[in-house]
Amino acid sequence: MNQDNKKYMENNISYDLNEHCLISPLDSESPLFEPKIRLGVLASGNGSNFEYIIKSIQNNQLNAEISILIVNNPHCLAIKKAIKYNIPYVIINHRDCQSRLEHDMLVLKKLEDLSVELIVMAGWMRIAGEELINRYINRLINIHPSLLPSFKGIDAIQQAIDERVTITGCTVHYVQKEVDSGSIIIQAAVPIQENDNKDTLTKRIQQMEHIILPLAIAKVAMNIRTGFRGNK
């Protein structure tokens, strides 16, 4: 994509970038790499980003395979999407664990047993522990609904509305110990309109999340394949 492009095709849906967002870096394209990257996806909620990763793979926009979906919530709607697309999944309920470390180690063991190369936190409502972060340096990424470093933590969209900013967005970043502090991989800026509420703004931000997350996965996968260290 370059600065002159006004439209972006996401799974055969065209978005007007002048209306919806500005993606940074502006020249973001999905890099080509071989062989396929083995993904582990962590999710806690609806699984919309999980589904768009699947669609990007199906549309040959992302050379990857999802080895496992891990959810910490047995009522997580992402499970239904895993069943729909025949993706292996496992429930590792944090409420069944005595500590955060115990839960992290169970997650880590499953990922390592399946030789997962890149972990994608897609609506994972858990803070990653040091064991997980240290084992997957430069291979653990998260998507957050704000233009980091603004509005870290929970309810970032409401934070942006409350602060009356005119632009917010979403960010894919490397995961580090401090929440939402890792190096930025890609961002999309989304204007806040006068009549926006949390629901309408969330919907527009999610549209851009669906675009930038597969791009970020491809960029990080390319770094893994070439041995480039992208995180600081």
Give the domain extent around 201: 8-226
- Nearest to residue 98, comparing CAs of 106, 90, 110? 106
* Interval 87-96: pLDDT, tens: 999 999 999 9
Rounded Cα distance, 229 and 232, in Å: 8
Quote the distance between the C-alpha of residue 148 and its chain's center.
Answer: 14
Burial of 164 (0-12, 13-18, 19+ CB in 10 A): exposed
103 catalytic, yes or no? no
* Interval 23-33: pLDDT, tens: 877 556 678 88
Average pLDDT on 64-80 reads: 96
The model carries a pTM of 0.87
CATH of the domain at 113: 3.40.50.170
Residue 216 domain-assigned (yes or no): yes
Among candidate residues 20, 103, 144, 210, the one labeled active-site is 144
Rounded Cα distance, 10 and 19, in Å: 15
Residue 164 domain-assigned (yes or no): yes
DSSP string for 48-111: HHHHHHHHHHHTTSS-EEEEEEEES-TT-THHHHHHHTT--EEE--GGGSSSHHHHHHHHHHHH
- Nearest to residue 146, comparing CAs of 196, 223, 200, 205? 205
Residue 231 domain-assigned (yes or no): no
Residue 3 domain-assigned (yes or no): no
Residue 38 domain-assigned (yes or no): yes
Residue 2 domain-assigned (yes or no): no
* Interval 152-198: pLDDT, tens: 988 999 999 999 999 999 999 999 988 888 999 999 999 999 899 99
Contact 103, 72 (CB under 8 A): yes
Q: What is the mean pLDDT of the chain?
A: 88
pLDDT at 30: 77
* 199 vs 15, residue with greater confidence: 199
Total domains in the fold of the chain: 1
Encoding tokens for residue 123?
């609506």
Which residue in this structure is represented by tokens 């025949």? 86
Q: What percentage of the chain reaches a pLDDT higher than 90?
A: 72
Residue 180 domain-assigned (yes or no): yes
202 SS3 class: helix
- Nearest to residue 179, comparing CAs of 156, 154, 153? 153
Residue 71 domain-assigned (yes or no): yes
DSSP 10: E
